[in-house]
Structure 1
Amino acid sequence: MAETIFNFMLSFSSVPRGCYWPEQASISQARKAMDRVKLSPSPVLLEDNIDFRVKRVQYQMVITINGRTPGPTILAQQGDTIIVELKNSLFVENVAIHWHGIRQIGTPWSDGTAGVTQCPILPGETFTYKFVVDKAGTYLYHGHYGMQRTDGLYGSIQVSVPDGITEPFAYDYDQSIILTDWYHKSSTEQAIGLSSKPFGWIGEPQSLLIQGRGTFNCSTLNSLAIVPGLCNTSNPECSPYVLTVVPGKVYRLRISSLTSLSAFNFEIEGHNMTVVESDGNYVEPFIIKNLNIYSGETYSVLVKADQDSSRNYWATSNVVSRKPQTPTGLAIFNYYQNDPQKLPPTMPTTGPLWNDSDYRLAQSIAIKARQGYIHPPPRSSDRVIILLNTQNQIDGYLHWAVNNVSFTLPSTPYLIALKDKLGYGKGKFDPNNDPKKYNLIDPIMKNTVPVHPYAWTALRFRANNPGVWAFHCHIEAHLFMGMGVVFEEGVNKVGKLPLSITGCGKSKVYYRP
């Protein structure tokens, strides 16, 4: 166990919106352009094994951590104390960072949810997050003020097992991959549309990103008033993200989704994936061809590099649950000693039908806790809470609501003011009969779960972590417009609150020095 300090400086940076390939340009045309790129390969998976300086593309301001998005991956060991010194160097925007999946036992004020557990961090201020990572697994961090996650404020957390402990599966290399969607409109522009009359929906994303990189459909060029001449296939520095693998080795890919809107299906051409972990909990292994993943979820899959090593393969992300209007997200699964920028000789995979909800539901049901790592839920509940998500109109403004209440953040954070996934089903939830279908034997513990279209999801948890906890939809626009609730749990048992989380609302008065 150790204390590890990370220095995060948030700033606005100008980064490319994507590599623009014309709609009429075929993969073969793009392949010819990529064939001219000659770079040194790496024998292992490295986030920064290739330095790209993208030119002649559309740029926009995004929020970066230490000048990059995604932000740096936090590497820690179970039991470590993480200290993050966060400097807000944004010009006019407040900020907060949520440590997604970290239980924050004893430190609810470090959960990083503005308005719930802390006051937002003002421009120019420095804030310290300090917490213990008590479970090994795959986690995330992301902005939790307004819709800042959409602007690139996110990253990965990898927590390894303690020394002397062996995980129940073997692998040679370990890599985090974040899947996101990307809008040309900033989060501020999107928020204005969502809160206006008439209502302005954010629409479909312009790109799907794999580890921060993607392409854009140039057929929409005119409507976006992009500078002429930026749409081309000849730029050698426009290329997909590259995952370099050594033949015969097994790779643990920690795949996470932090999309603003989209649900994804992720696939590596010609390779099966074995699911072994989700949201920090070991899963009874099962083999899949492609992975359905929703915003806020994390999965570890094992992939063996056992195919023809004389060529590269596509890794793709495709939109599901909504009719796709965005080009496929592309990465290259590169076998070592091949040119890492050599495009595969095949067309990218398209995944399952976008509207096949039965296929997605079947995968959700297939996820069970691994034998030897089962934490059976309580056999019964002391209290049953049924939450219904709806869309309402108030004075001409559109809002999302939970049980007919649209959630709004208070000026004084709730923490200051107040001092187990069981099953899925289709159709309307029947409280008399559906509980009989609950899996009380080996359900997987999760911090994020999907609610499938016209369906329900049942969870059960033990209230054993005093604090105030946000429970909300992880689609940015839905939360922004009110689809969330807060659980208040034994706040009287929370220790003395640090002064650093105060300074807004009534806490200006209550916590004067």
Structure 2
Amino acid sequence: METMEVFGTVLLALLWSFHPTSSFICDKNAEVCETSLIAEHHLTMFHPNANKVVPYGGKLYPYNNDSKPATDLDSVPENEVIIANGIQRPVVVFNKTLPGPNIIVYEGQTVIIHVTNKMSSEVLGVHWHGLYQRNTPFMDGVPFITQCPILPGQTFTYKFQAYPKGTFWYYSTTGLQRIDGASGALIIRPKGADTTTEHILQVQEWYDNMHSNGASLLANFGEDTQHGKHLVSPDGAIYHSIFTPTSALINGKGNVNEMPFYTFKGYGNNSFLFRTIATGAVLPFKISIDSHKLTIIQANGYRVKGINVDSVILNPGERIVFKTNRLDSRTYNFWIRATTVDVTNSIEIRAILRYDENEVAEPKTSPTICSSKKPCKVFNCPFESFPVKVYMKCITADKVDSLEPTELQKVPKKKQFKEYFLNFEYPGTPKAAINGKQFLQPTASALTQPNSISTPCNTSCVGCQCTNSINLKHNDTVHFVLTNIGTGKGWGHPVHLHGHSFELLKMGFPTYNRITGNITTENEEIKCIKRRNDYCMSFTWSDSSWMNGNVPGLNLVNPPLKDTVVIPRGGYVVIRIRANNPGLWLLHSLVDHQTLYGMSVMINESSHFVHQPPSDFPKCGNFDGIQTPLH
């Protein structure tokens, strides 16, 4: 072996006892599943026996300035290092892994998770994305909405029922900790299901610098935009961003010189099930496997009628499950590609699907070639179409049929129907809003201490900060018309509703130039009826006959169920819920800094809140903590 400069050091070894955990899998026959998560600061490219590690010849070694021959005995186990993109930087992680450990349980089990905050100066909350939290809304994990923040040194125990079944995830809801690594997969398998071979693929953009400190972002925002940093969507949207990623990761691993790519082992299988999760905070990713067709079977945790495509787009917070079959081929290694949907700063991260354990070489496969005679099919575009010469055909999220039963009536009673128009606005400055109102966090847990809300919104509040909320009447059928139009429209906004799955009834798109793919005019089915300054205070349908749920083209038969949806730039979506889950739920953007700047609203169903939190549930007074919670 060639020589290399290495040095074994015990610096920090006493401070970092390393016990990596990749998964917690509950016994399918157990009634209770109990595990722990520890949130703390850590370093990438670090090992307890080394201040820093470096890649060499496909392995990791301690780094130092002394000249010394290195042997295999000096190498550091790869699974004991957070590799990321190979550049050492601070991260916030659960259980010293990036991403955090997979939590795999079975439908109906009681889940108990002890979350300890070992960070010295940051608060914490953990959200279980996609879970209804029925009867346990105070376990939703949003500081100052459903609980007090977990302070440094504290442990908070989350206890809830595993429901519904599907592919979900968990993450820190404080500051920008999710961007820095604080997330992981949460899988709820069907009750009594046998263990099946499945692959969990988590994709995210990555940055050379740490972003958890929101204050530093605010300070640098103007400088970054002055330097012209921006991203461009295929529909022509220009997005000035403090977040310009330097690379991307699949399951915490990027393209690091001489290190093997993350490998999914498909030994002996004729088909492969992939649970894909977008844990990033800004960019959508297009995922494909060279030479393979993908059959979509679930979207956002819920079953859909299978469709065959060449690739799938995942927006932040979304999960899509697909199957693909083993090819009758002499090729045993194939590239899995995840590429950012951005025409100015496209980043690709790869992983490997390997059929044969004896095959160790990197794949030599190529991506599918799309042509006018054979255009590629892409599922879940955040816009209606690509530029024509890209030869990609979009199948948008509303164009699939749900296999889940609907509990809602096609025509609700007028007395039990409400319709709300909410415009998500991000004008490209450190300001984001819904209907002109920047969301202001309460100073204590709004669900359990409602009298703590001292800054409610009033009708005159436009462009101001207030604690915006919508009060729902129990058992009403509610249509939310979510729009992304006007002077503050941005990229396609990924939006998440806590405490519910909703039915996606319709997506309304703008008009596009077929050649360039750019937007020519916004969707004209929505109009502003009251404007002040740069904000529209209220919207309605351009055709008044569409009011009260009479919109043409609504899918009321088998609409897809979701908890996260993208509002297309210049367009809208119509979603439907029944207000039958007492609690206080957040509706917000999943682009972290947009939510940090105010793109949230509380959905209040707490008037029928009859299930009380545990007697020892903590209360909190006014909080002026070290870090502002995010959402």
Report SS of the residue matched to 2:97: coil
8 Å contact 2:287–2:312 — kept in the other structure? yes
8 Å contact 2:250–2:351 — kept in the other structure? yes
Separation in structure 1 between the aligned mates of residue 315 and residue 128 of structure 2, nearest angstrom? 17
Report SS of the residue matched to 2:396: helix
Q: How many residues align?
A: 452
Structure 1 residues 469 and 355 mapped into 2: Cα distance closer, same or farther (>3 Å)?
closer
Match of 1:385 among 420, 423, 436: 420
Question: Which residue pairs with 1:437 in the alignment?
Answer: 553
Structure 2 alignment gaps of length 5 or more: 1-29, 47-54, 61-76, 225-240, 371-375, 387-392, 452-502, 511-522, 527-540, 625-631
Separation in structure 1 between the aligned mates of residue 409 and residue 356 of structure 2, nearest angstrom? 45
- List aligned pairs for 1:268-347, cutoff 5 A: 268-320=289-341, 322-340=342-360, 342-347=361-366
1:249 aligned to 2:270? yes
Shift of residue 249, structure 1, vs aligned partner: 2.0
Report SS of the residue matched to 1:177: strand
Q: 1:368 is aligned with what amino acid?
A: D
1:203 aligned to 2:243? yes
Question: Which residue pairs with 1:179 in the alignment?
Answer: 203
Shift of residue 61, structure 1, vs aligned partner: 1.2
8 Å contact 1:318–1:350 — kept in the other structure? no
Q: Using structure 2 for the length normalisation, give the TM-score.
A: 0.66
Out of 328-337 and 188-197, give the one that drifted further.
Answer: 188-197
Question: Which residue pairs with 2:464 in the alignment?
Answer: none
Structure 1 residues 64 and 203 mapped into 2: Cα distance closer, same or farther (>3 Å)?
closer
Match of 2:578 among 440, 446, 462: 462
Structure 1 residues 451 and 54 mapped into 2: Cα distance closer, same or farther (>3 Å)?
closer
Larger Rg: 2
Question: Which residue pairs with 2:517 in the alignment?
Answer: none
Separation in structure 2 between the aligned mates of residue 331 and residue 117 of structure 1, nearest angstrom? 38
8 Å contact 1:193–1:199 — kept in the other structure? no
Q: Using structure 1 for the length normalisation, give the TM-score.
A: 0.80
Match of 1:366 among 393, 399, 404: 399
Structure 1 residues 118 and 348 mapped into 2: Cα distance closer, same or farther (>3 Å)?
same
Question: Which residue pairs with 1:224 in the alignment?
Answer: none
8 Å contact 1:117–1:501 — kept in the other structure? no
Shift of residue 70, structure 1, vs aligned partner: 0.8
Render the CA deviation track for 1:127-168: whole Å, top value 9, x for unaligned.
Answer: 1000001221111000101111011000111111112x79xx
Question: Which residue pairs with 1:193 in the alignment?
Answer: 217
- List aligned pairs for 1:114-263, cutoff 5 A: 114-163=143-192, 173-189=197-213, 191-194=215-218, 198=222, 200=224, 201-215=241-255, 233=257, 235=258, 238-263=259-284
Structure scoring higher RCO (CA < 8 A, sep ≥ 6) equals 1
RMSD over aligned Cα atoms = 3.1
Structure 1 residues 346 and 250 mapped into 2: Cα distance closer, same or farther (>3 Å)?
closer
Question: Which residue pairs with 1:500 in the alignment?
Answer: 617
Out of 196-205 and 282-291, give the one that drifted further.
Answer: 196-205
Separation in structure 2 between the aligned mates of residue 407 and residue 7 of structure 1, nearest angstrom? 32
1:425 aligned to 2:495? no
Separation in structure 2 between the aligned mates of residue 195 and residue 439 of structure 1, nearest angstrom? 45
1:413 aligned to 2:445? yes
Structure 1 alignment gaps of length 5 or more: 18-29, 38-48, 217-232, 508-513
Out of 399-408 and 377-386, give the one that drifted further.
Answer: 377-386
Match of 2:139 among 110, 116, 123: 110
Structure 1 residues 71 and 248 mapped into 2: Cα distance closer, same or farther (>3 Å)?
closer
- The structure that is helix-richer by fraction is 1
Report SS of the residue matched to 1:461: strand
Structure 1 residues 384 and 298 mapped into 2: Cα distance closer, same or farther (>3 Å)?
same
Q: 1:145 is aligned with what amino acid?
A: T
Report SS of the residue matched to 1:193: helix
Separation in structure 2 between the aligned mates of residue 473 and residue 439 of structure 1, nearest angstrom? 24
Question: Which residue pairs with 1:483 in the alignment?
Answer: 599
Separation in structure 2 between the aligned mates of residue 59 and residue 377 of structure 1, nearest angstrom? 55
Report SS of the residue matched to 1:95: coil
Shift of residue 364, structure 1, vs aligned partner: 1.5
Render the CA deviation track for 1:242-289: whole Å, top value 9, x for unaligned.
Answer: 111125522211111111100111101111111111222111111111
